[in-house]
């Protein structure tokens, strides 16, 4: 399943920009495959490794971190679709946003890490739209209005 590749990092230099480290698709020194997921204002950094099926988010198991069944099933969806629930361990750190945003961010991070873990899973993940970032976010409030779209009450007379 997982191909053994060496991790290579390249330094990219752009004028006026601090040097960046770019990670290749292979595992890091500890054997982890990384995936970053974002949803609304939540950001999840996911590490994935061959294992027994343990999933932890911010050091807690999924059922303790996400109390809603809806969020638990959303996080497990990429593993369920690819039938990898019992063969990989997932460690996620998530910050920002609310519960639904965090669940969506973890889902995307797991899907991206699975793609790096086994490239043959990509068509299955794409078929279920698990590698597509959901770009919907809260629209900003505009000046002269009560909200993003809501106007102040208008009185003709």
- The C-alpha atoms of residue 57 and residue 44 are separated, in whole angstroms, by 9
- The C-alpha atoms of residue 44 and residue 55 are separated, in whole angstroms, by 14
Single pTM value for the model: 0.81
User: pLDDT tens, 92-104?
Assistant: 999 999 999 999 9
Q: What is the pLDDT of residue 28?
A: 86
pLDDT at 4 over 60: no
- The C-alpha atoms of residue 73 and residue 121 are separated, in whole angstroms, by 19
- Average pLDDT (115-128) is 94
How high is the mean pLDDT of the chain? 88
How does strand 88-95 pair with strand 55-57? parallel
* Domain 33-127 class, CATH top level: alpha beta
H/E element, 24: none
Of residues 41 and 8, more confidence is placed in: 41
């Amino acid at each position: 399943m997982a191909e053994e590749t060496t991790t290579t990092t390249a330094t990219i230099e752009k004028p006026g920009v601090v040097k960046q480290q770019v990670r290749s698709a292979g595992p890091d020194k500890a054997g982890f495959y990384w995936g970053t997921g974002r949803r609304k204002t939540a950001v999840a950094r996911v590490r994935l490794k061959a294992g027994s099926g343990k999933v932890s988010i911010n050091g807690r198991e999924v059922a303790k971190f996400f109390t809603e069944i809806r969020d638990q099933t959303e996080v497990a969806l990429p593993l369920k679709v690819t039938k990898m629930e019992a063969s990989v361990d997932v460690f996620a750190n998530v910050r920002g946003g609310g519960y639904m945003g965090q669940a969506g961010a973890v889902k995307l991070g797991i899907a991206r890490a699975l793609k790096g873990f086994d490239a043959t899973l990509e068509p299955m993940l794409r078929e279920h739209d698990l590698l597509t970032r959901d770009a919907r976010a809260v629209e900003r409030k505009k000046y002269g209005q009560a909200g993003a779209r809501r106007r102040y009450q208008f009185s003709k007379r």
